[in-house]
Structure 1
Amino acid sequence: MKILDMLRGRTERRAEDPSWNALVNGGNNTTAGSYVDAKSAESISAVFACVQALSESTACLPLHTYRRNEDGSRERADGHWLSRVLERPNDYQSGMELRECMTASVLLNGNGYARKEFNGAGEVTALHPMHPGRMSIVKLDSGRYRYDYTDDQGRPVRLLADEVLHLRDRTEPGSIVGKSRVTIARESLGLALSLRTHGAASFGRGARPASVLYNDGKQDLNSEQLTAIRGVMDSYSSPANAGKTLVMGVRGLKLENIGLSNEDAQWLEAMNFSVTEVCRMFRVPPILVQTLEQASYNNVESLGEQFVKFSLTRWLNLWESAISHQMLGPIARQRFYAEHAVDALLRGTAGERAEFYAKALNNEPWMDVDEVRRLENLPPRPNAS
């Protein structure tokens, strides 16, 4: 029997095993009456926007492989196998698509998994994402971990930790399974879902007209007139007639406008508060999910810098650390590493960059012109003849 098969052997799944008890985001009902899991949570526009802001930004940033030189400098190692697999992890995904997919999985489920493929030299040649809902992690008697996965055909697949790239959110002590933010904030998300359902049901049952005509009391309305009025009112059971004015062929009717009720105002306020709660959950500035109440011309740039420093950095470091410790061996990681290029997100205006470069090139220069041109995505100057 092969050594890998022995290590993947049968192991009793203990009831107290934290990795088994924390199995990803099974979903549950909330006090507000809504069922919350990763799928229903993502249907909330604020959740979707926060997840996309973090996963898209992480995936779109260039991820380069570098080699450390003995003199302390570094250089791009684009020909290294790690650079190739990060650029094209499999036959059906680009590196950007894989990183967006797995980052979103961690944000919604707490964990993101990809199965590694190796060549004869032990180098990773491909990464295949795996659905977090079909994965469980078992701690072996040896202290190592085994990943039990159910494939698309329903067949069980056993993998060792070295065969899986595992990205995870914050974990509990003694466990390597990430905690799902959707599970932690289930009650807040359940309230947001219930508020949305309440609003949709209210409009679906019948939209309130913008104004109404009423009798001035000078004449009584007969049954035919009341029937006509009731028929017109019934036509407003469709949201398509929302905001239209009622017109009735009966004398003695007066127009009265209907404003926003206190109940409607409280509902709108609660909806806005739920957006803030979701942004707090993912640590995303509300301006990035198109909530512009507190935005101004002066603070938009500052909020962008805060997003990079306090929201995005955690997910960039997650990828860089996982690549270093789960894809490179102990010797290889001393010379090679992967790092995102965040300069594009932190670039100032043309005037600010010009001032910065001027300081770097004058007096006691610590940059040369070709280094500046490279930062501006310009080719090197031609050699002087």
Structure 2
Amino acid sequence: MNIWNMLRGHTEQRAADPSWDALANGGNNTTAGAYVDAKSAESISTVYACVQALSESTACLPLHTYRRTDEGYRERADGHWLSRLLERPNEQQTGMEFRESQTAAVLLWGNAYARKEFNGAGEVVSLQPLHPQRVSIVRLDSGRHRYDYTDDNGQLVRLLQDEVLHLRDRTDPGSIVGKSRIAIARETLGLSLSLRAHGAGVFGRGARPASIITNEGQRDLTTEQLASMHSRLTQYASPANAGKTLILPRNMKWQTVGLSNEDAEWIGAMNFSVTEICRLFRVPPILVQTLEQASYNNVNELGQQFVRFSLQRWLTMWEEGISRALLGPIARQRYYAEHAVDGLLRAQPKERSEFYKSGIDAGWLDVEEVRRLENLPQRRVEAVNVPDAS
């Protein structure tokens, strides 16, 4: 038995994290009558859009590995093993796919786990994602934690704290388990699910025609007359007959059915639920295609606010999680990972040009640095032939 298995087997007088059962988001019924868990919550289009806005944006940003130089500057360390790991964390996923799925797991379950695999030099060479619902955390007597994972065959796999990359949402004091936003806002999401079910039932089973025809005569129509009228009206359902004049028999009156007050209140409640869910994930409604308050002037500002106030938390989670879980105490003093967010924070072309001009005129910026900031190639300097003085 190796040292890892000996340590995994130490379970005397262990105490499970008391917050785990409450926050694992196994699902529960709500006052509105809807069952809410991560899967049902993600079926709400606004929840899905918010999760995608944060996870896609986080995953698509370049994540570089840097080295601190002795002079206090930094330089790209693309040849470092950490850079290769972040680019291809395992054989099945690219770096973008891995970070997108792990970020989405934190947003939905509050936690994301990945098993670290090492080579002989102690470097992490692979990160294998673990489903959050299959992981439980045990606090050991030493104060450290063990991760118990149930694999696809139903076998229990015990992992040490140093073998797991654990990313999490906000935790309670004394706990390392992230709090699920789905579990916290279960009642809000349950109301949204109930409103959706109500609307589907009304339009699926309720008789809500767009218009009606009334008979203001004294005699009822026969079955044959009703069938003939229905056949004539059906012809106007064709796009080819759209806009043509409809001729009704004597004493027949056409009436358009408008939206009832009850339907209008339902639509208003659905719109309010969109705002509530966006507030839960701190995503501007404009990013989930709610454009009521969007204008040409505020779209760019809202995008920059999204980076500063919504996306920054998840970028910092990745950067600090990588430093804590993938780099040793000595290595993290020299190396670190950081996202490149300059492209998302760029101002308009006119404002950028004025900023660059002021920097060049003041002497703290040169043309080549500006070209690098704008992702332009280096200018070619033509060689000048100097005549031979002899």
Tell me the TM-score normalised to structure 1 length: 0.91
Cα distance per residue 1:119-157 (max 9 Å; x no partner):
111110011111101110011111110000011122111
**Separation (CA, whole Å) in 2 of partners of 1:197 and 1:208:** 17
Alpha-carbon separation, structure 1, partners of 2:249 and 2:150: 69
1:49 is matched with 49
Q: CA deviation at 1:174?
A: 1.4
Distance 1:332 1:250, change over 3 A: same
Structure 1 position 251, deviation (Å): 4.2
Is the partner of 1:93 in helix, strand or coil?
Answer: coil
1:46–1:289 Cα contact (<8 Å) kept: yes
User: For residues 83 and 334 of structure 2, what CA distance do their matches in structure 1 show?
Assistant: 14
Residue 319 (structure 1) aligned with residue 304 (structure 2)? no
Contact in 2 for aligned 1:138/1:147 (Cα 8 Å): yes
Tell me if the contact between 1:225 and 1:250 (Cα under 8 Å) persists in the aligned partners: no
Give 2:157's aligned residue. 157
DSSP-derived class of the 1:344 partner: coil
SS of residue paired to 2:270: helix
| Shift in CA distance, 345/56, structure 1 to aligned 2, threshold 3 Å | same
Partner letter of residue 316 of structure 2? N
> Could you tell me which amino acid in structure 1 is paired with residue 150 of structure 2?
T
Which amino acid in 1 is paired with 2:83? S
CA distance 1:147–1:287, change in 2 (3 Å): same
**CA distance change for structure 1 residues 250 and 224 in 2, over 3 Å: closer, same or farther?**
farther
Matched residue, 2:281: 282
Task: Tell me whether 263-272 or 349-358 shows the greater mean CA deviation.
Answer: 349-358
The answer as to whether partners of 1:22 and 1:177 remain within 8 angstroms in 2 is no
Structure 2: distance between partners of 1:30 and 1:13: 36
Gaps of 5+ in 2: 235-245, 384-390
Q: What SS class does the counterpart of residue 346 from structure 1 fall into?
A: coil
Matches within 5 A, 1:227-266: 251-266=250-265
Residues 211, 255 of structure 1: 8 Å contact kept: yes
Distance (whole Å) between structure 2 residues aligned to residue 384 and residue 43 of structure 1 = 60
Question: What percentage of aligned pairs have identical amino acids?
Answer: 70
Secondary structure (helix, strand or coil) at the match of 2:343 reads helix
Partner of 1:144: 144
**Secondary structure of residue in 2 paired with 1:264:** helix
Distance 2:23 2:289 in 1: 33
| Residues 1:229 and 1:111: Cα distance change in structure 2 (over 3 Å) | farther
1:315-349 deviations in whole A, cap 9, x for unaligned? 00000000001100000000000000000101122
- Determine the structure 1 residue equivalent to 2:357: 358
Q: Are 2:23 and 2:180, in contact at CA under 8 Å, matched by a contact in 1?
A: no
Tell me the secondary structure at the aligned position of residue 153 of structure 1: coil
Structure 1 partner of 2:65: 65
Q: CA deviation at 1:227?
A: 7.6
TM-align CA RMSD: 2.4
Answer whether contact 2:14 2:140 (CA < 8 A) is retained. Answer: no
Name stretches of at least 5 consecutive residues in structure 1 with no aligned partner.
236-246
Matched, 1:345 2:344: yes
Aligned residues of 2:67 and 2:335 also touching (Cα < 8 A): yes
**CA pair 20-219 structure 1, distance change in 2 beyond 3 A:** same
> Is the Cα–Cα contact under 8 Å of residues 23 and 183 in structure 2 kept in the other structure?
no
Are the aligned partners of 1:19 and 1:176 in contact in 2 as well (CA < 8 Å)? no
Deviation at 1:24, TM superposition (A): 1.8
Matches within 5 A, 1:131-210: 131-206=131-206, 208-210=208-210
> What residue number does 1:373 align with?
371
Is 1:11 equivalent to 2:11 in the alignment?
A: yes
- CA separation in 1, counterparts of 2:277 and 2:153? 36
Q: CA deviation at 1:45?
A: 0.4
Q: How far, CA to CA, are the matches of 1:314 and 1:281 in structure 2?
A: 14
Shift of 1:11: 2.3
> Aligned partners of 2:367 and 2:381: how far apart in 1?
13
- Alignment partners' CA distance in 2, 1:63 and 1:178: 24
- Larger CA Rg, structure 1 vs 2: 2
Counterparts of 1:170 and 1:119 in 2: how far apart (Å)? 32
Task: State which drifts further: 2-11 or 195-204.
Answer: 2-11
- Aligned residue pairs, count: 373
Task: Name the amino acid aligned to 1:7.
Answer: L
Residues 90 and 15 of structure 1: is their aligned pair in 2 closer, same or farther, counting only changes over 3 Å? closer
TM-score, with normalisation over the residues of structure 2?
Answer: 0.90
State the SS of the aligned residue for 1:347.
coil
In the TM superposition, residue 23 of structure 1 has moved relative to its aligned partner by: 5.1
Shift of 1:12: 6.2
